[in-house]
């Protein structure tokens, strides 16, 4: 159930790439690092698309068009644009470079097998959702009784918010809780939303978040605790928790 709730928040990961509003406490150099934390670096190349116009990077719609045409170039372009995000999601769950790489390869295959008929928008959200689900499945298969420190710790922290009742199911359907959490994230500041998603979706460590936001780890821990408290209060106000 917790996995369903976290997966439901995935659209908020797009804020990292679209809003371009880093914390005002960052220097220009830190802002660049902030935006590139999850970005996959690759050399720009020229491609011929549509009417033969040269562009430096394919848009998502052009990548999807390659999938629709069953062109093997689609996998290459997908990896260049979104592979870094997918690999980070997988690695944060698995903490094993080889397993993460294999998960990303499985993700590409899954995308190939589902586009068409799927026409996802945004494409990055679709790719990372698949990568995360595959990584969680792989983790469960490899460590049935063994916990993954960073990933499980993040889930435990969020579970504290939802433990006001015996089970989440007795409060409401997972979809209803997910909608409420989405509304909460829409209302908080960019920095709070960024921290929340880095910790509870990407599974990043507190130290990694602190480095990205140029804060001390203790400050990040305290702020995350306050965000969870606010989330708990919000869910209680909405009648979803007692």
Residue 155 exposed, middle or buried by CB count within 10 Å (0-12, 13-18, 19+): middle
Does 11 score more than 90 pLDDT?
Answer: no
Residues of the chain with CATH 1.10.1740.10: 39-145
Residue 39 exposed, middle or buried by CB count within 10 Å (0-12, 13-18, 19+): middle
CATH fold label, 39-145: Rna Polymerase Sigma Factor; Chain: A (1.10.1740)
pLDDT digits (tens, 9 = 90+) for 142-186: 765 455 555 566 666 676 666 544 444 444 456 677 788 888 988
On whether the CB atoms of residues 81 and 45 are closer than 8 A, the answer is: no
Q: Partners of 49 in the beta sheet?
A: 53
pLDDT digits (tens, 9 = 90+) for 54-70: 545 689 999 999 999 99
Ramachandran region, residue 239 (left: φ > 0; alpha: ψ -120 to 50; beta: rest): left
For 153, other C-beta atoms within 10 Å of its C-beta total 14
Q: How far apart are CA 211 and CA 116, in angstroms?
A: 40
């Amino acid at each position: 159930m917790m996995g369903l709730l976290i997966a439901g928040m995935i659209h908020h990961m797009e804020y990292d790439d679209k809003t371009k509003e880093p914390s005002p406490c960052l220097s220009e150099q830190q802002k660049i690092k902030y935006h590139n934390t999850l970005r996959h670096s690759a050399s720009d190349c020229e491609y011929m698309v549509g009417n033969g116009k040269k562009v430096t990077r394919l848009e998502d719609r052009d990548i999807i068009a390659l999938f629709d045409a069953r062109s093997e170039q689609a996998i290459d372009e997908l990896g260049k644009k979104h592979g870094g995000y997918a690999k980070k999601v997988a690695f944060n769950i698995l903490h094993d470079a080889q397993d993460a790489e294999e998960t990303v390869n499985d993700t590409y295959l899954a995308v190939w097998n589902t586009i068409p008929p799927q026409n996802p928008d945004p494409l990055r959200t679709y790719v990372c959702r698949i990568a995360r689900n595959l990584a969680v499945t792989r983790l469960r298969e490899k460590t049935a009784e063994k916990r993954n420190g960073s990933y499980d710790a993040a889930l435990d922290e969020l579970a504290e918010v939802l433990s006001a009742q015996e089970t989440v199911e007795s409060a409401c359907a997972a979809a209803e809780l997910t909608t409420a959490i989405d509304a909460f994230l829409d209302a908080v500041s960019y920095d709070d939303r960024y921290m929340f998603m880095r910790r509870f979706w990407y599974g990043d460590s507190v130290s990694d978040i602190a480095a990205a936001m140029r804060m001390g780890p203790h400050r990040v821990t305290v702020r995350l605790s306050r965000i969870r408290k606010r989330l708990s209060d919000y869910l209680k106000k909405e009648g979803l928790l007692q």
